[in-house]
Amino acid sequence: MLSDIIQKIKWPIIVQGALGSALFWIILQLFSYLANLVAKQVGIFKIKSKYDRYLREYIYQKYKSSNGMIYYTQGYFLSFEKVLEYLLQGILFFLFGFLLSFIYEVYLIVGIVGAIYYIFKALSWIIPYKAKTFSSNLERWKRIFELEKILFGEVNEDTLNYIKKFSKSEGENK
């Protein structure tokens, strides 16, 4: 069949070569564009996951591992909010996959995979991400200082007050 098509085309060899080269160039440009698009999306995903990691550590260090009752409850409310957000996204993913599976069965598999992904993201907010323990309160509040600079670009006043407080108390103990 392909040989029949080739025999019907009676163009000069140079024109056929130019068309083949042009087709190759178009395919090459298309793959180059797709590769750049994928690389950009992977970069965005890396930045978002790093931000998510820092945010989980920040909430755990500042709110969940504090002795104060107000900070402790704030930390759990913030974590629970993220857990519900990802859990809801997972449920919606599954429901859309289930509803579209009546049209085409592969949508159910996509919905289940998406739901599992979002459920694991929700679980990551319940279990602290490699929660580092510090030998002193001053070290912990210095880490919170670093995280606030990274996440928000500025440091909260209460963090500075705690650093001053623990710097004085640890300076007196030495």
Q: How confident is the model at residue 20 (pLDDT cuts 50, 70, 90)?
A: confident
pLDDT at res. 130: 67
Q: Look up the domain containing 85 and give its range.
A: 52-173
Domain for residue 32, yes or no? no
Domain for residue 37, yes or no? no
User: Residue 75: is its pLDDT beyond 90?
Assistant: no
pLDDT at res. 171: 64
pLDDT greater at residue 68 or residue 124: 124
Q: Kindly report, residue by residue over 99-121, the tens digit of the pLDDT.
A: 999 999 999 999 999 999 999 99
Domain for residue 5, yes or no? no
Domain for residue 29, yes or no? no
Domain for residue 76, yes or no? yes
Q: Cα–Cα distance between 15 and 87 in angstroms, integer?
A: 59
Domain for residue 24, yes or no? no
User: Residue 78: is its pLDDT beyond 70?
Assistant: yes
Q: Kindly report, residue by residue over 37-47, the tens digit of the pLDDT.
A: 999 999 999 99
Give start and end residues of each alpha helix (H) in the chain. Answer: 2-8, 13-59, 69-100, 106-126, 137-152, 157-173
Is the pTM above the cut of 0.85? no
User: Residue 68: is its pLDDT beyond 60?
Assistant: no
Q: How many distinct structural domains can be found in the chain?
A: 1
pLDDT at res. 33: 96
First to last CA, the chain: 90
Question: What's the chain's average pLDDT?
Answer: 86
Domain for residue 85, yes or no? yes
Q: How far is CA 6 from CA 1, 2, 12, 15, in A?
A: 9, 6, 12, 13
Domain for residue 31, yes or no? no
Q: How far is CA 101 from CA 48, 126, 157, in A?
A: 31, 31, 53
